Amino acid sequence: MRILGIETSCDETGIAIYDDKLGLLSHELYSQVKLHADYGGVVPELASRDHVRKIIPLIKKALVDADTSHEQLDGVAFTQGPGLAGALLVGSSVGRSLAYAWNIPAVGVHHMEGHLLAPMLDDPAPEFPFVALLVSGGHTMLVRVDGIGRYEMLGESLDDAAGEAFDKTAKLLGLDYPGGPLLAKLAEQGVPGRFVFPRPMTDRPGLDFSFSGLKTFAANTIRDQGDDLQTKADIACAFQTAVVETLQIKCRRAMEQTGLNRLVIAGGVSANQSLRQALQAMMQKNGGQVYYPRLEFCTDNGAMIAYAGMQRLKAGQHEGLSAKAKPRWPLESLEPV
């Protein structure tokens, strides 16, 4: 089976061709970072318009790079939600229209399920069951995964997600958009221990997250301590350490609660090297294994959508002619495969 995958949930247009026997044949990614940088964040209307401009040329290029014609495709997978409504409508309408024109089935994919399954694109792939830490954009969640579509929510962000807190704190530090990776780079120059930030919601039971207070703590520290470069680096270091240790503590609790010894971390923040090192050390100490997507598949991409869509198309799932975008879509509501 050979699938075209389309990702347009936010500010990146991702296209991929995936074959269940040959693996990933091609993938294209266009980022709108420069478009939104002047505004300090994603402007939904501009994002939608840019998807419209880029999606068809990227699909054509992916097909050429994969040496594939549309007659060789067995299905189209597109991100149906969650995400920005306008951006989702671009991918869902183009994906569903192409599938209709080519007389092949189309399937809508949950964006977070795509991230969750992204490590499956590489060897060795994690075996079910496992615990997944999903840290992508406005989402931070811990999920028990017993199979595709068999998800139990263990904990999630109650306000700001980790990625949002990274970006907002970076903005407070005067860093450009997107700020998360720049904050992580600045933190490398910081002196550990000069500032100590709280580890939110780790002093009580449970697996939910809250990072808005940590962002406020960072804002107050920045206001009180001045804005020289070394102080900014030290604050960035303290902030990142607090986020990483909070996620580490919650992951340890999740592993103990479920009794599982496999951990998957996926989503944009999973590219953070400090987080990877901390979770790797934790799992090695406890005799477990941690899995990550390769760096190019941590952020939004078409490959993860093609892979997730293939699993659902193989199970006989597909969309009708009136496929709709789902800006809000609970992960645990998905049907099992």
Is residue 305 within 8 A of residue 112, CB to CB? The reply is no
Between the alpha carbon of residue 306 and those of residues 2, 51, 62, 106, 195, the distances in Å are 9, 18, 12, 11, 44
Between the alpha carbon of residue 265 and those of residues 84, 103, 258, 260, the distances in Å are 23, 37, 16, 14
| Strands laid side by side in the 150-156 sheet | 150-156, 139-147, 130-136, 262-266, 289-291
The answer on whether 264 is annotated among ligand-binding residues is no
The answer on whether 300 is annotated among ligand-binding residues is yes
Other beta carbons within 10 angstroms of residue 298's beta carbon come to: 22
The answer on whether 137 is annotated among ligand-binding residues is yes
Angle at 134 between CA 30 and CA 204, to 5 degrees: 145
Give the residue ranges of DSSP H helices in the chain. 33-37, 44-65, 85-102, 111-117, 162-172, 179-187, 212-225, 229-258, 273-285, 302-314
C-alpha span between 71 and 271 (Å, rounded)? 36
Q: Collect all residues with Cβ–Cβ distance below 8 Å to 295 and sequence separation of at least 6.
A: 271
The answer on whether 38 is annotated among ligand-binding residues is no
The answer on whether 135 is annotated among ligand-binding residues is yes
The answer on whether 115 is annotated among ligand-binding residues is yes
The annotated binding site for Fe cation is made up of 111, 115, 300
The annotated binding site is made up of 111, 115, 134-138, 167, 180, 272, 300
The annotated binding site for substrate is made up of 134-138, 167, 180, 272
